[in-house]
Amino acid sequence: MNYHAYAACTRGAFFRDAKRIPDEMRAVLILLRTDLKTAISAVKSLRAQGRVVAISCKESGQHQIAKQLDSAAHVAMFRELCALADGALSSTPELVQLYRAAGAKLTEFIPTPYPVDDARWDFSRPLAERSGIFIGTREWNVPSRNHAAALLRACSLGVPVTVFNHDGRAGRKKLDALGCASLCVIESKLPYPDYLREMAKCRVVFQLDASAVPGQVAGDALLCRMPCIGGNGAVDQVAFSRNANLESLLRDDAAWHDAIETSQARARESLSFSAGAARLREFFSTLAAA
C-alpha cells in the first residue's frame, strides 16, 4: 500500500515484471523483496537501457530489515544492489545510513505520500459521531509492535476500544484475556475504504509500535482526519506531535481539533501527493544528473 503511492502521486504505474515497463518510463524504483537475485538482474537490465534506477526495501521496519539481512548471501547481494543502482530511496529516516553504509551513491528519505490533498480521500466524520480508541497494531508475534501493551493501556481508560483480529481463535483468546468490556473486535479483513470508515468511527488512533516503519497507520489516520499517537513510524514523526496526550485527546474537544489542524497542515506541506511528486521529481532528476 505504501509504495503504490510513490507511483500514484507521479501518475506512474506499479509493475511486477521489469520487462513490462513501457519505454517512456525512464525513472524506475525497484522494491527489494526476498528474491534479491531477481532485483539484481532487473537493475542491470534497466540501467543497460539507460533508465534511472533507484532501490528501496519493500519491508522497511527495523525487524524486517534484520530478517532481510539475516545471511551472508543476502548481505552481499544487498551491497551489490546498492552499488549497482543510481541511488536509494528510503521510506524511513532510520534506513538512510544503512543504504549509505552499503554503498548507495545517493540516498534520500522521502516519506510515502497520502492523498490528503484529494477530497475523494477524505474519510472524516464529525467529532460528535466518534468515540473511543482505534488500536493501530495487530501483530502479537512481533515484539517491537508492543500490541499487548497498547491494548492494556487503551482498555484501562474506560472508553470503547476497537481492534482488528486476524489471528482467529488464538488472537481472540488473547483479546479475551484483557478483560476489556468495551472492546470491539473486528474479525474480517475489509477492503481499504471500509477499513478507513471503521477507523473514522473512533476518536484517536493509538499504538506503541517501535518498529520504525514507514507509518501506514498514521497515514490512514490522516485520511480519516484524526490524531494518531504512540508510534515511531516515519509518517508519525512528520505529521503528529510526540508530546500529544492520549487522555487529553479523548476528553478535550479543543485539543482534538488543534491536533487535527496541525497534523493536516504538516501533511499538506510534506506528505500530500503534490509534495511527494515534487520531491520524487527532484530526487530522480538529481540521480539522472549524477
Is 137 found in the same domain as 47?
Answer: no
What CA–CA distance (Å, rounded) separates 84 from 249? Answer: 48
pLDDT of residue 1 exceeding 90, the answer is: no
Mean pLDDT across the chain: 96
Q: pLDDT value at position 247?
A: 97
Q: pLDDT value at position 2?
A: 75
List of residues 6+ apart from 107 with CB closer than 8 A: 87, 88, 89, 90, 96, 99, 100
Q: pLDDT value at position 196?
A: 97
Is 208 found in the same domain as 82?
Answer: no
Q: How many CB atoms lie within 10 A of CB 80?
A: 18
pLDDT band at 290; cut points 50, 70, 90: confident
pLDDT of residue 139 exceeding 80, the answer is: yes
Q: pLDDT value at position 23?
A: 93
What CA–CA distance (Å, rounded) separates 114 from 276? Answer: 8
Residues 108 and 89 sit within 8 Å (Cβ to Cβ): yes
pLDDT of residue 258 exceeding 80, the answer is: yes
Q: What is the mean pLDDT of residues 227-253?
A: 96
Is 153 found in the same domain as 16?
Answer: no
Domain of 155: which CATH number? 3.40.50.2000
Strand partners, 54: 29, 87
pLDDT of residue 12 exceeding 90, the answer is: yes
Is 182 found in the same domain as 260?
Answer: yes
What CA–CA distance (Å, rounded) separates 272 from 137? Answer: 24
Is 188 found in the same domain as 52?
Answer: no
pLDDT of residue 13 exceeding 80, the answer is: yes
| Cα–Cα separations (whole angstroms), residue 189 to 162, 173, 209, 245 | 14, 18, 21, 30
Q: pLDDT value at position 202?
A: 98
What CA–CA distance (Å, rounded) separates 288 from 105? Answer: 12
> What percent of the chain shows pLDDT beyond 90?
97
Report the domain count for the chain: 2
Is 152 found in the same domain as 17?
Answer: no
The three-point CA angle 122-126-127 to 5° equals: 120
**Domain extent at residue 87:** 4-113+272-289
Is 186 found in the same domain as 86?
Answer: no
Q: pLDDT value at position 29?
A: 97
Q: The pTM is what?
A: 0.94
Is 101 found in the same domain as 35?
Answer: yes
Is 194 found in the same domain as 182?
Answer: yes
pLDDT band at 90; cut points 50, 70, 90: very high
Q: pLDDT tens for residues 41-87? A: 999 999 999 999 999 999 999 999 999 999 999 999 999 999 999 99
Q: pLDDT value at position 3?
A: 86
Q: pLDDT tens for residues 103-116? A: 999 999 999 999 99
Which cell goes with 289?
544528473
Q: What is the mean pLDDT of residues 171-197?
A: 95
Q: pLDDT value at position 260?
A: 97
Q: pLDDT value at position 116?
A: 97
Is 242 found in the same domain as 145?
Answer: yes
Q: What is the mean pLDDT of residues 239-244?
A: 93
| Cα–Cα separations (whole angstroms), residue 220 to 131, 177, 200, 215 | 17, 28, 9, 9
3-state secondary structure of 162: strand
Is 135 found in the same domain as 257?
Answer: yes
Is 209 found in the same domain as 157?
Answer: yes
List of residues 6+ apart from 130 with CB closer than 8 A: 200, 201, 202, 203, 226
